[in-house]
Amino acid sequence: MSGHNEHTSVDQHDHVPSYGKNVMIWLVLVALTALTVTVASVNLGDYTFFFAMLIASVKAMLVINIFMHIKYDDLLMKGILVACGFIFMVIFVIYSFDLFNTYTG
């Protein structure tokens, strides 16, 4: 653990986050919010759900990577995040099959 300690502190001192970059990311997030509201008023049929979730996912990635600065964290933190996301996706996909089978099959 002491290895991580030193590693992280070095990283953090190397990367003192700037005001400007965070403001830029915020502007992108606001723009994406405007986009998702606009897209919602257009009838895209079956794709509406897909697009809304796609934009939400892009926003989530920006928040996780920059605001929660996972981007600058070490491999262990990133690894756990990806593993948890993957397990959730597996549960979600398996459950989806069951749902579609029950209600639309």
Partner 1 sequence: MSTTSVDAHGHSNNHAGHGYGDNDQLYVHFHRDDYGSKFGMWLFLFTEVLLFGGLFVLYYGYRIAYPQDYHHAAMELNIVMGAVNTLVLLTSSLTMVLSIVALRRENIKASLLYLFITFGFGATFCVNKYFEWSAKIHHGIYPGSLELQESRPAGEVVFFGLYYLMTGLHTFHVIVGMVVMVFCYIFIKTGTINSDKYIVLENAGLYWHLVDLIWIFLFPLFYLLH
Instruction: Fill in the amino acid letter for 21.
Output: K
Q: Is 23 in the site for partner 1 (CB under 8 A)?
A: yes
Helical segments of 15-46, H only: 19-41
Q: Is 16 in the site for partner 1 (CB under 8 A)?
A: yes
Q: Is 35 in the site for partner 1 (CB under 8 A)?
A: no
How many residues belong to the site for partner 1 (CB under 8 A)? 48
Q: Contact with partner 1 (CB under 8 A): which of 42, 45, 75, 92?
A: 92
Left, alpha or beta for 73 (phi > 0: left; psi -120 to 50: alpha)? Answer: beta
> Whole-number minimum distance, CB 56 to partner 1, in Å?
5
Cα separation, 89 vs 93, whole angstroms: 6
Cα separation, 75 vs 6, whole angstroms: 15
CB atoms within 10 A of CB 32: 15
Which residues are at the interface with partner 1 (CB under 8 A)? 1-2, 4-6, 8-9, 16-19, 22-23, 25-26, 29-30, 33, 36-37, 40, 48-49, 52-53, 55-56, 59-60, 63-64, 67-68, 76-77, 80-81, 84, 88, 91-92, 95-96, 99-100, 102-104
